[in-house]
Structure 1
């Protein structure tokens, strides 16, 4: 597609207004009628598709498009035309002047929409669904991005029939070998997850998910891992919306929870019934605030709120070491503020805290805590950190400095520091949380162990791998004692320990442990579970570090294929495995093959994640490195400079990735014989690493070695020798400390 292209000899494409997994949406001009329209161009079917499938998809497209075009309701986007042009299927729709609900939530920066707007949107969507269901049409992919609120307040549903078409073409990911189509996991009904036939009640479940999110700011099962989300939809009752937002009317909450019933027969009969109940909720005079649970309850027995099964909390590919155990875990994004809380007498705490803080104040802090979590999910780490720090201070004043919710906010603030490359500050923050949790909850409490495990992770980021090893070993011993060898958190700790062993140079030990963990995860979770594949990814890493690059390449490719199968071809973890396969190719001297891999990755990551996403920039960095290996140094230098400039803008001048790009600039300058300019760049890298990581960090010392090499090339031998000696002294001290 391109600007000014004429579709069907009638619709002139003017500018691109959206791009997604199914294709592109263009603002266009209907040359026959002189009006502006939206043209949705579906991705062309490539040669990898069977010709018979292509014919089936074209016929299905025409059938679905005719159905969509036959719909006539103020709450449904009008389809004017459809067809095929140069092999590209397209729909011509009315051009909407408004924003979809996903964008409205983003604009609100984690805050839910006003209650009256939520109920108004709910009534309009229910009316539109009631109409379409009477026509025998089921949407199948109702989500905030498919619901648009116009400037005049009208709400319209988009993309009827497109979701099923996408499933046929294969654009949607699939979950394991069960044949379950993973549309948008946050909004899928249990029957969709099970792969059974769906009817209008599946749309009602998705509507419940949408209303839950716009009313509270988060979906009902708000986890990073698609598997855990799907398990939540299938097995776990959602938390009441008014726990997150007490001002919601009780009748509205009841409607949402009824829509989210696991069995279709337990949901409202149809959308008309939903509309009638919403109208009654709007007319409700008021509401009674939800009572906040106390911690611990009067009898001393722990309260177990309804939440995801504990084992699903291990279903994550990230580093965040959230614990699970016999007590509610305040660090969990789904946790509820506990209100009153009394320090155990054994702690020798100071003056007694208020035993029952204001429920309104507690609820307000809950909402801000979730706002911080929502911002972090969108990658807005600095703003999230500000909110978590502020909430931590206010919780300390209201609930006490050692209250679990106060510590939960401090924990999240530490996590944002870690994600923004401020490892030293994150270490101090995690250490403080771990000490407080140990004092209050005990050394073996899952939340204490979670903070200690994060401490170990940050120690590794700082190059203090021996200390990280000691911490991981202690945490693992406690997890084995408390949770057993097959608990998800125990396996995660063993995984991290294997990773750290490889950083200590104990590659055989690391490889052996990673193999053991991969086997255990395959047994407990399944061979294609994301966590199993994460550990197989680490197996490949240890193979590469041992110089066994052919085996590493084969393992990375197997992991990439399995992830594409279970998570989807555009999932970040799938793309990460392809990236590492490119590294393996480069190490094997197959730079031309590596260059092709990275260029494909740049295209795919740009489409899936955006041109400025750190992972996209990492793939572009790989392009530059392999251009250099092929001797194309001028191209490599231009690529490195552009990537460095973008990383500096997106990540900051001192971020590790920015500094890696700056070093690549210096490498290219050196190969081009421009040693003075190279020395300047190496010096900037070394100074930044010393400032952020410290003078004795391995990366800082490597940069000082680079500087010394440049000085040698410039004939400044005495300065080079002095710098080499300085580096040697630091390394000798490190070696002595490690022993």
Structure 2
């Protein structure tokens, strides 16, 4: 290793990364806790061991070149289940990677902390699903890990799981060597987790990672790897020739389906294993879905609902829900049931409440959300007094009030009210009743709006399982839930899963509803969005083009859905370097939006903003600056100086000023934006920190390096406190 590694901490690499503490050592290198002195953040630096002096020089050169290429690939991976690579390079002849520093324990440490006791089934399932998702993503990028083991899987303090060490993973395979130990002393795998094809001279693909994944799951489930012997050669031979012991003998609480999956992963022949990580993830989800179907004991019904236990009442309820439109309306048959001994409300009172409820719905259709909320809340209170807290009509009013809260931007309040309604409906109507599921679905949507995507995923998954069970896989409500689940998967970073689900759902909706049905096109729009997130901009452009054409055929060229799809086409064109085409598209879009909604409409200004961005990409910075200034001025007048859209436009003004070399003025604008975001969002919000970084960049351009460095460090400190690997 370089002198830094031999001599201890304190060495500075590339005048930037100061090695402070050795925190890991493996066959390929060492990992150091380091400080990135340019940004003031703590990082992990992994240094590749040089080969012995006797090693072939050509081999060494090829190995280093492969390391550089693989480091670039690792740096390009963008998934919540993969460790982030910030930088890579060479120092004193030694190659290194700079990675994020993780606050957590690797799974080997987790097992050791538990004195090799197996993990509880819920923890095991959670880890398995997250690792399967990360492997599905990396395999889709053409990356095979080749050294998957508990020590390379980190469980963070918040429960998230990340796979490490993708930077060196495929080197041996790529340069034409097998995975056995060679004369160079490089181990291309760890014996306890190596696949049979790694041990032999066979070709290795993603299914080798799945075998190693099976070894990891076996150890987490039993406390020991499948072949737990001290002699490395004996372990290798066992991987090749010996069938692993069943897990259930020492772990009777392990679900049979999970044991079957682990043993399938440990099949000797790659063709006998699951063929990809997405399949593994699907099997794990199905197991969790089955586990989430508890048998709910029947709760005592309130007196007003007891008569519904009869067959005739049940038939009436089913008939109503089969014929009811998507919006929640009155149940009618239950409107005169009251508590035992209480005086039933007069029909005139119920009719008045029903009329007021309908009035609230009409206010919603007009977008008068505050008035609708006030009315629904008042009707709910009167229905509570007249019919009871748990009466379906009372809950319908509360459901509508929650919908208004969501539209008013009071998402957290809406979520709490949806949760309340869902809880009462589950107690009274049952967990699988359509009204219960409707409230649970809306609660999941609110969670997603709050950025709680993992919780939203859990909510959608449970509702989807119930709707598939009770309504069927192709019922419109089931398909809506699948759409939202796919959307939410994308926000979780599980883009390949989101794409696969959206493509499948679009095909189902096309078959059930027709290819040009609005709900089919909504899902195809989501397919385009996920393709863009995956960087497949040409494919995304094609999908958005087809969606725009379909909307134009069915709804007209000026319809908002047509224009929304065309806006996304412009984004794709810009990403593909076709800014001249994007510019013309946005000119047409601005004209269309102006005709249909006016020059100050939010979507008109959004299109004008994009037009200005593409002017800048074409180097027409004077025009780009003028466009950004106009949009910023209109947005400030219409929305206020501190509105996020206004600040985005002002930032674009600063960008233009910088490109024109007017750094002093740009600095003033960047500071204005940063100060506003600090007031509105707080000093540690990501958008605020981005603005402070912009400000620091300006200071650099003005030659004020000391101020710039101090600001960069301040930003880095606010992005996260001390962490440990």
Query: What residue number does 1:679 align with?
Result: 671
Q: Is the 8 A contact 1:434 1:449 kept in 2?
A: yes
Tell me how far apart the structure 2 counterparts of residues 327 and 470 of structure 1 sit (CA, whole Å): 29
- Tell whether 2:609 aligns with 1:614: no
- The structural deviation recorded for 1:488 is 0.9
Find the counterpart in structure 2 of residue 623 from structure 1. Answer: 611
Aligned equivalent of 1:442, options 430, 455, 461: 430
In the other structure, the counterpart of 1:360 is 348
Q: Is the 8 A contact 1:472 1:493 kept in 2?
A: yes
| CA positional deviation for 1:557 | 0.4
**Alpha-carbon distance in 1 for matches of 2:577, 2:493:** 23
**Correspondence for 1:704 among 683, 689, 700:** 689
- Select 2:377's aligned residue among 377, 386, 389: 389
Q: 1:546 to 1:574 in 2, by over 3 A?
A: same
Task: Give the direction of change, closer, same or farther, for the CA distance of 1:410–1:621 in structure 2 (3 Å limit).
Answer: farther
Q: CA deviation at 1:378?
A: 2.6
Distance 1:709 1:476, change over 3 A: same
Determine if contact 2:335/2:350 at 8 Å carries over to the other structure.
no
Distance in 2, Cα, partners of 1:413 & 1:666: 43
The Cα of 1:670 is off from its aligned counterpart by 5.6
Q: Is the 8 A contact 1:341 1:403 kept in 2?
A: no
Which blocks of at least 5 consecutive residues in structure 2 are unaligned? 1-303
Give the 3-state SS of the residue equivalent to 1:374 in structure 2. Answer: helix
Q: 1:353 to 1:375 in 2, by over 3 A?
A: farther
Aligned to 1:340: 335
Cα pair 1:341 1:355 within 8 Å, conserved: no
After TM superposition, the structure 1 = structure 2 runs for residues 295-306 of structure 1, keeping only pairs within 5 Å, are: 301-302=313-314
Cα displacement string for residues 376-409 of structure 1 (whole angstroms, at most 9, x for unaligned residues): 3233333333333333333333333333233223
Question: Aligned pair in 2 of structure 1 residues 684, 654: CA closer, same or farther (>3 Å)?
Answer: closer
> Given the superposition, is the C-alpha separation of residues 366 and 598 from structure 1 closer, same or farther in structure 2, using an over 3 Å criterion?
farther
The CA deviation string for residues 244-281 of structure 1, in whole angstroms up to 9 with x for no partner, is xxxxxxxxxxxxxxxxxxxxxxxxxxxxxxxxxxxxxx
Residue 393 of structure 2 is aligned to residue 405 of structure 1:
yes
Asked if residue 724 in structure 1 is aligned to residue 724 in structure 2, the reply is: no
The 1:303–1:533 alpha-carbon spacing in structure 2 relative to 1, beyond 3 Å, is: same
Structure 1 residues 193-342: aligned runs within 5 Å: 301-302=313-314, 325-326=321-322, 332=327, 335=330, 340=335, 342=337
Change (3 A) 1:600 1:352: farther
Tell me, what secondary structure is at the counterpart of 1:725?
helix
Aligned to 2:504: 516
For 1:652 and 1:408, the matched residues in 2 are separated by: 37
User: CA offset at residue 655 of structure 1?
Assistant: 6.6
- Whole-Å separation in 1 of the counterparts to 2:368 and 2:629: 25
Q: Name the structure, 1 or 2, with higher relative contact order (CA <8 Å, separation 6+).
A: 2
5 Å-filtered alignment, 1:644-663, equals 657=645, 660-661=648-649
State the alpha-carbon separation in 1 of the partners of residues 372 and 651 from structure 2. Answer: 30
Match of 2:545 in 1: 557
The CA deviation at 1:596 is 2.0
Q: Which TM-score applies when normalising by structure 1?
A: 0.50
| Distance of aligned partners of 1:710 and 1:396 in 2 relative to their CA distance in 1, 3 Å threshold | farther
Over 3 Å counting, the alpha-carbon distance change for 1:383 and 1:340 in structure 2 is closer
Q: Is the 8 A contact 2:336 2:345 kept in 1?
A: no
Partners of 1:611 and 1:725 lie apart in 2 by 42
Q: In the TM superposition, what is the alpha-carbon distance from 1:470 to its structure 2 partner? A: 1.3
Deviation at 1:427, TM superposition (A): 2.3
Closer, same or farther: CA 663–471 of 1 in aligned 2, 3 Å: farther
Q: What residue number does 1:539 align with?
A: 527
**Maintained 8 Å contact 1:468/1:500:** yes
Aligned Cα root-mean-square deviation (Å):
3.5
Distance 1:405 1:687, change over 3 A: farther
| Conservation of the 8 A alpha-carbon contact between 2:597 and 2:604 | yes
Asked if structure 2 preserves the Cα contact closer than 8 Å seen for 1:675 and 1:710, the reply is yes
Deviation at 1:649, TM superposition (A): 6.7
Q: Name 1:477's counterpart in structure 2.
A: 465
Query: 1:575 maps to which residue?
Result: 563
| Whole-angstrom CA distance in 1 between matches of 2:633 and 2:341 | 51
Q: CA deviation at 1:514?
A: 0.8
Residue 402 of structure 2 corresponds to residue 414 of structure 1: yes
Q: What is the distance in 2 between the residues matched to 1:653 and 1:341? A: 53
Residues 389 and 395, structure 2, Cα contact 8 Å, conserved in 1: yes
Is residue 328–residue 396 contact of structure 2 (8 Å, CA) maintained in 1?
no
The whole-number CA distance in structure 2 between the counterparts of 1:636 and 1:397 is 61
Quote the offset at 1:506 in angstroms: 1.4
CA distance in 1, matches of 2:720, 2:678: 16
Contact 1:711/1:720, CA 8 A, preserved across alignment:
yes
Distance (Å, rounded) in 1 between the aligned partners of 2:640 and 2:392: 33
For residues 602-627 of structure 1, give each alpha carbon's deviation from its aligned partner in whole angstroms, at most 9, with x where no partner exists.
22233334444433333233233333
Q: 1:437, 1:306 → 2: CA distance?
A: 16
Q: Shift of the alpha carbon at 1:597?
A: 1.6
Gaps of 5+ in 1: 1-293, 311-324, 344-350
Q: In 2, distance between residues paired with 1:726 and 1:353?
A: 63
Shift in Å, 1:648:
6.4
Q: Distance in 1 between matches of 2:638 and 2:649?
A: 13
Contact 1:521 1:531 in 2 (8 A): yes
Conserved? CA contact 1:598–1:623, under 8 Å: yes
Asked if 2 retains the 8 angstrom alpha-carbon contact of 1:476 and 1:493, the reply is yes
- Deviation string, structure 1 residues 519-545 (Cα, Å, up to 9, x no partner): 111111122222111111111111111
Q: 1:595 to 1:516 in 2, by over 3 A?
A: same
CA distance in 1, matches of 2:693, 2:601: 34
SS of equivalent to 1:505: coil
Measure how far apart 1:573 and its partner are: 1.5
Matched residue SS, 2:313: coil
Q: By how many angstroms is 1:433 displaced? A: 2.4
2:417 is matched with 429
Tell me the TM-score normalised to structure 2 length. 0.50
Structure number, greater radius of gyration: 2
2:461 is the alignment partner of 1:461: no
Name the SS of the counterpart of 2:720 in structure 1.
helix
* Superposition map of 1:136-175 within 5 A: none
